Amino acid sequence: MINPNEHPLFKERDLEGLFRKTWGIYKKHFGWLFLYSFLGILLLQSFLLTSRLRELMTFNNLTDPEKIAEQMGPLFLLILVFFVGYSILYLFLHYYILFQELKPENNHFVLIRESIKKFALPYLGTMFLVFMILVAGMMIGIILFIIGMLAAIVYLATVFTPISALLIVEDVNPMEAITRSFKLVHKDFWKTMGYIVVFYILYFMVGLVLSSIVLAPFAMDFFEFLKPGTAGELAKEGSSLLSDISPIFILVSSATSAITAPLVPIFSILIYFNLKYK
């Protein structure tokens, strides 16, 4: 367990300070954060495109209700693999940032082992509960129309932003992590929500622009797919929607995602310490 009061990041910051510190940590640890993010995303995307999903994602399967029902089991396993894989990746990114800022001499292999050994199960349990709460919030929001759903998403995203850092720093179980995250964020809810909304707007804009630039060479394949008659021909042949994805695309796509992926754990950690300081 880390004493948050003794951590180097324990400090209250305004919006400008949060963004400046996020960028500072990002630059400081970029090489390793990018490498670990790239390897994790590449592994998951490679698994996705070499697994049974290639067989499942055909026009015949997607247009036949009976075949969709038959494939629910494999699809569920694929979703489970992605849920576990991305959860473990983001767990380690949080763990790495917290402990490298605390003690830069930490051995990376030790950090990987410790993060998985100590927090993998609690973290997965917490993320599952968070996911269920988000789904429930969205369903309630739908009842209140689209505005209600958006409000539920923004509220719950704000409440759960510091939960990963809280789980690691305070070493608590999933239910305690959720309860404490609610209480922590509500110490200064509106200002925190403003910070998080601004961050994610900029984050998605940067990701969109970066993807547009880096993946531009592959855009012609997409427009070729949209040509009249192409979809009909593929449907007759029973072709897979993923059949033409090349290894180069997987590498480039993984690298692009890895560039922005570390920003979320960095910012969430700073939000956690910002709230703890109050």
Domain parsing of the chain, residue ranges: 4-277
Task: Find all residues with CB under 8 Å of 125, minimum gap 6, and list them.
Answer: 173, 174
Q: Please give the pLDDT value at position 82.
A: 87
Torsional sign, CA 150, 152, 157, 158: positive
268 in Cβ contact with 94 (< 8 Å):
yes
Handedness of CA 255, 256, 261, 267 (dihedral sign): positive
Identify the pLDDT of residue 63: 53
pLDDT at 245: 61
Please give the distance of CA 87 from its chain centroid, rounded to a whole number.
8
How far is Cα 270 from Cα 22, in angstroms, rounded to an integer? 8
Half-sphere exposure in the Cβ direction for 14 (13 Å, CA):
1
pTM of the model: 0.82
Q: How many helices (H) and strands (E) does the chain have?
A: 14, 0
Q: Tens digit of pLDDT per residue, the chain (278 long)?
A: 688 888 999 988 999 999 999 999 999 999 999 999 999 999 988 887 766 555 555 545 555 556 656 666 667 777 888 899 999 999 999 999 999 998 888 889 999 999 999 999 999 999 999 989 888 887 776 666 667 778 888 999 999 999 999 999 999 999 999 999 999 999 999 999 999 999 999 999 998 888 777 766 655 554 454 444 444 444 444 445 455 566 777 788 888 899 999 999 999 999 999 998 87
- Residue written as tokens 């693999």? 81
